[in-house]
Chains A and B, each alone.
Chain A
């Protein structure tokens, strides 16, 4: 019979004691394996989360770690905001033009030029000539006009050459019970361009639905995607309406009246995106409280400078009052004359009425400009005037379908979940904000209407009761936008290049924005941005906090194993007094001292390794049992087959083995150490005395 057989028989002979001893070792090993696997998964989660396809984050000056934690892991609060203009510094000419044309500066220049030309040429009786002249004017204006020149609308962004991918994000809102999930406003590029695994070029995958569109025929810019963890926790399905919470619901936050149609649910990726709520940034900007106030005094209409935001019920009352005024004849809606060269009047027109044939010298309200440019009638005018040459010169790119929607078509029905009041309510803005003309244009209706106001019938502004279809809402002008951060992936990912890029960005080079090219925005407090490399910050956190915690936990759990080992020692040693005769008999039968010592050590090994195997199995079983709950609450994916991170074995050609395998030699050594004392006792057994 071999030593192992003799040892196994001895273990069996002391069944209960052996089982208890092995179980204590199993518990210790289970804890060690749990610490190793959970730490490995968490660390991998950190690494995965910190290398999601971008190597630099640009944000406001402040705490770099806070910026990274907020941007990558959706933790903490945004540091501050940066001008939207910073985004444009990383984009090519086409994108810049497509974006800049949504600015007040551009729109007002186009409006002024258009008005001038229209007036001049139409007075001369040549619409075609007016169109060509306008084209020349705008082309020249792009070069000569101070405002347009300042925009550098014909140029690529300062950092566009370095930028392989740039994604803007805006944060601040939350979602779900107790505001446990963060809302991330971004563009479709977050799903289409961002690679969560740079090696495999994998993008975020969907378990249901799709990414939201830049603009959707059905939902406009009000589409949302949620992570798998969010969908599971909040019981969401495709088609549900997601309403972000402004701030934190636990501290004076409130649910936005604007909803986003859920069009996609992400597959679990093991990143923090599993706990993210992603909305179209354009829709985000059009929500209450997300509009940056304007500094331009001309936009401050005195009667609503101090206007308080009104509730939905109050707004409904105003609409009803408005309808009564129309019904009673206080307000007359008339069709504009064909020869009427005046601009369509709005409900809140400040300053004197425009003289026939003259340009309205009064400063324009936001609503006026939007109405002018995106009103059905005016859009037709622009299209006719500009003709096909416009796009060749100005390179509008793909354009915003919303700009051209509504032509020759009646406003479509509003989706049931996006009530008209939201379209109005979204415009009510802050009590303290200035220049929210689109909202306050409506709000100011109270007591401000006069008789005989003229409004084009087919203008959305004509009928105050006509619901504003959110699908066709105009994008928020650039001057009223801010960003939380930019996600950049550079072409050159070498350390030297990234450091050089970071230095330039931190020094403000190429970001001389402050929105100088527009007079419609307050001067930004930001002189330069902060560029951080998320990997650096994450590893700092790992090394500073996570690694020490892991070390402490490992030490603790290993001490538990040592205590279990001592239990083996005590168990075997105590049995020696009963087994002296047994050992003496084996000696009398010819077993050497080394043999009996080996049998005792074999017993210790059987108990330790047997307990260790059971403990390893229990640990992975525990991972499988609690994995779903951990995934639901933290987003960390843990399953029975989650193994501790691998360690590269140099002398095995770099073969990578899970660190759990290190437990095998560790347990063997522990068994040898704790079995040594009883083994020595067996070695020294006096045979003649004990026979």
Chain B
């Protein structure tokens, strides 16, 4: 499903020098597989997710998503791939304030070609237990309800891969497990691969595969080695 090879990424500091943030020789996720990507803050988790999503382009390396090599795609091409094949669950939910729950879910399918289906959006909200709140705006919803809406939105475009960037970080402990279960079950039901970034060990322990980006990212691994 997902293959990263020799991914390198550095950011410019503004004084002409650049700082390497990611050096990932190899990484893959199989179809339908659910993987947790652990790592401390600053180890390149968000950068990795953005590269996978096509939001940013790696300085070097190859990204293949569902057998589509994104390496040479233009920005608009990567946007289309992202709209078709990726669902994103954000740490801060990132629901649009001016849109109702239903409209937020529909937004998730609006940019994919031929995938707009209002009924599916309603069904997804029912699936996450929010059918009765579909016409409410985020300001009138609880944190848990907002995150559940975000999960429904991520599934709206029938993606091949869900990227969840610390989905439980801003959720109260009572709802954290509920969110994790919801994401996992939804992905399982739709046969969607899941790559969840978290530094919550309780969440990580529930997954069969847990990868440590601090070890996989040579930039971080080498800097630790130097430190020692």
Contact = CB atoms under 8 A, between A and B. Distances in A.
Chain A, interface SS category: helix
A592 to B, nearest CB: 4
A592 B98 contact: no
Interface in B64-117: 75-76, 79-80, 82-84, 86, 88, 90, 94, 96-99, 103, 106-108, 110-112, 116
Interface residues of A, number: 23
Given A2-B110, A588-B53, A688-B46, 20 more contacts: A1-B103, A10-B98, A12-B98, A585-B94, A585-B96, A586-B96, A586-B107, A587-B55, A587-B79, A589-B88, A589-B108, A589-B111, A590-B84, A590-B86, A590-B157, A591-B83, A592-B75, A687-B50, A687-B55, A691-B94
Contacts of B141: none
A594 interface: yes
22 contacts: A1-B106, A1-B116, A9-B103, A12-B98, A13-B97, A13-B98, A586-B96, A586-B107, A588-B55, A588-B94, A589-B110, A590-B86, A590-B111, A590-B112, A590-B157, A592-B111, A595-B111, A687-B55, A687-B56, A688-B46, A688-B56, A691-B90
A492 interface: no
For the complex of A and B, the 5 pairs showing the least CB-CB separation, nearest first, are A590-B83, A13-B98, A590-B111, A592-B79, A585-B94
Contact of A9 (B47, B98, B116): B98
Interface string A553-590: 00000000000000000000000000001100111111
Nearest to A11: B98
B41 to A, nearest CB: 16
A428 B79 CA distance: 101
A593 interface: yes
A682 to B, nearest CB: 14
Interface in B129-163: 153, 157
A592 B80 CA distance: 7
Given A688-B50, A688-B56, A590 B80 contact: yes
Contacts of B50: 687-688
Interface in A527-547: none
Contacts of B53: 588
B17 to A, nearest CB: 19
B18 to A, nearest CB: 16
A594 B76 contact: yes
Nearest to B76: A592
Residue in B46, B88, B112 with the greatest tally of chain A CB atoms within 10 Å: B88
A587 B90 CA distance: 13
Contacts of B153: 589
Contacts of B83: 589-591
A691 B108 CA distance: 16
B111 to A, nearest CB: 4
Candidate in B47, B76, B79, B80 with the most chain A CB atoms within 10 angstroms: B79
Contacts of A592: 75-76, 79-80, 111
Contacts of B79: 587, 590-593
A689 to B, nearest CB: 10
A595 B79 CA distance: 10
A581 B97 CA distance: 11
Given A591-B79, A593-B76, A593-B79, A585 B111 contact: no
B46 to A, nearest CB: 8
Interface string A35-65: 0000000000000000000000000000000
Interface in B2-60: 46-47, 50, 53, 55-56
B98 A688 contact: no
Contacts of B103: 1, 9
B96 A582 contact: yes
A687 B157 CA distance: 20
Among B47, B98, B99, B112, which residue has the most Cβ atoms of chain A within 10 A? B98
Interface residues of B, number: 31
A13 B103 CA distance: 14
Interface in A580-614: 581-582, 585-595
B143 to A, nearest CB: 17
B107 A1 contact: yes
Contacts of B90: 585, 588, 691
A6 B107 CA distance: 9
Contacts of A593: 75-76, 79
Interface in A654-691: 687-688, 691
Contacts of B110: 1-2, 6, 589, 591
A492 to B, nearest CB: 72
Contacts of B82: 588-590
A589 to B, nearest CB: 6
A89 to B, nearest CB: 82
Contacts of B47: 688
Contacts of A12: 98
Contacts of B99: 9
A595 B108 CA distance: 14
A588 to B, nearest CB: 5
Nearest to B137: A13
A582 B93 CA distance: 11
Nearest to B154: A589
Contacts of A581: 94
A691 B79 CA distance: 15
Contacts of A10: 98
B88 A588 contact: yes
Contacts of B80: 590, 592
B112 to A, nearest CB: 6
Nearest to B90: A691
B11 to A, nearest CB: 10
B21 to A, nearest CB: 11
A593 B116 CA distance: 20
Contacts of A590: 79-80, 82-84, 86, 111-112, 157
Q: Which of A586, A588, A691 has the most CB of B within 10 A?
A: A588
A1 B98 CA distance: 14
A592 B73 CA distance: 13
Contacts of B94: 581, 585, 588, 691
Interface in B175-195: none
Nearest to A585: B94
Contacts of B112: 590
A592 B157 CA distance: 15
Contacts of B96: 9, 582, 585-586
B42 to A, nearest CB: 15
Contacts of A2: 110
A593 B82 CA distance: 13
Contact of A589 (B76, B97, B98, B107): B107
Contacts of B108: 589
Question: Max chain B CB contacts within 10 Å: which of A12, A586, A592?
Answer: A592
B88 to A, nearest CB: 5
A18 to B, nearest CB: 11
A591 B55 contact: no
Nearest to B11: A688
A1 B118 CA distance: 9
A681 B154 CA distance: 26
B181 to A, nearest CB: 24
Contacts of A13: 97-98
B98 A591 contact: no
Contact of B111 (A9, A591, A691): A591
Contacts of B86: 590
Nearest to B93: A585
Nearest to B165: A691
A590 B76 CA distance: 9
A581 B93 CA distance: 12
A543 B65 CA distance: 71
Nearest to A590: B83
Contacts of A588: 53, 55, 82, 88, 90, 94
Nearest to B106: A1
Contacts of B75: 592-593
A688 B82 CA distance: 14
Nearest to B75: A593
A586 B79 CA distance: 10
